Amino acid sequence: MATVEFGLNEINTGLQLKESEFDGISYVCPTWNQMGTLNFDLARQIVKSGRSFDRIVALARGGWTWARDLADALNIPRLSSTRVESYIDVNESGEPRITQPLTDSISGENILLFDEVVDSGATLRLGKKYLEVMGARGIKTVALCVKPRSEEKPDFYAFSTSAWVVFPHEIREFIGISIDKWRSNGVTAEGIKERFKTIGISPNQVEFYCSLHAQNER
């Protein structure tokens, strides 16, 4: 079972992320409220550092949801996005590549580069190099989660775990991927639903998204 370590323990007192394990893979599924707490922790870390930024650049798609929330917490009015893709599925990632260039000028700006999860560190590293090429004066990196095995550590992060993190803004995507994988491993339809509920996905979401997945297969 994976362990979860928080980036700012004195603020995260009492916050626990439930862990589940299936087929040798650990999962954590933070709620919207927990994510709000974690993102607030990030904001406090950044404020405490004394650094200021002209703009947040979110790595799409994972960084979109919480970059907007962080921009509000830090009172940073400029928010941009670039897309770096590497994930193939839950268990596999490929070489990162930029698939959506930055459309805003960032020349001479101090940038806070935001990603959802730093896994190997390759995506964050490529994003940082790209912003340097685009003329950023300074770049600091921030992530909700950093994996212990990552070769690239963000300057700020909320928590660290080797578990697969199922974020509340990607439930349907996770359910679709997992149904196909678990079914190929011989898990029954009801068994799959029970796994989702054990991981921490609400029964209503499980029933609704599993039903939609079944309809799309017809």
Give the C-alpha separation, 143 to 58, whole Å. 10
Distance of CA 60 to CAs 43, 175, 186, Å? 20, 20, 34
CA distance 142 to 151: 15
Q: Which residue has the tokens 């995260």?
A: 12
- How many angstroms separate the Cα of 53 from the Cα of each of 19, 60, 126, 132, 158? 35, 19, 20, 15, 19
Separation between Cα atoms, residue 175 and residue 213, nearest integer Å: 8
pLDDT confidence tier of residue 105, bands split at 50, 70 and 90: very high
Q: Which helix (H) or strand (E) holds 25?
A: strand 25-28
Q: How far apart are CA 111 and CA 128, in angstroms?
A: 10
* pLDDT 10s digits, 36-73: 999 999 999 999 999 999 999 999 877 789 999 999 99
pLDDT in tens, 160-217: 999 999 999 999 999 999 999 999 999 999 999 999 999 999 999 999 999 999 998 8
Q: From CA 25, how far away is CA 21, in angstroms rounded? A: 5
- Residue 112, both tokens: 């806070």
pLDDT category of residue 15 using cuts at 50, 70 and 90: confident
pLDDT at 10: 45
Check whether the bond before 61 is cis (ω within 30° of 0). yes
In whole angstroms, what separates CA 93 from the centre of its chain? 14
Q: Closest Cα partner for 167 from 29, 50, 21, 46?
A: 29
Point out the least confidently predicted range of 22-26, 108-112, 117-121.
117-121
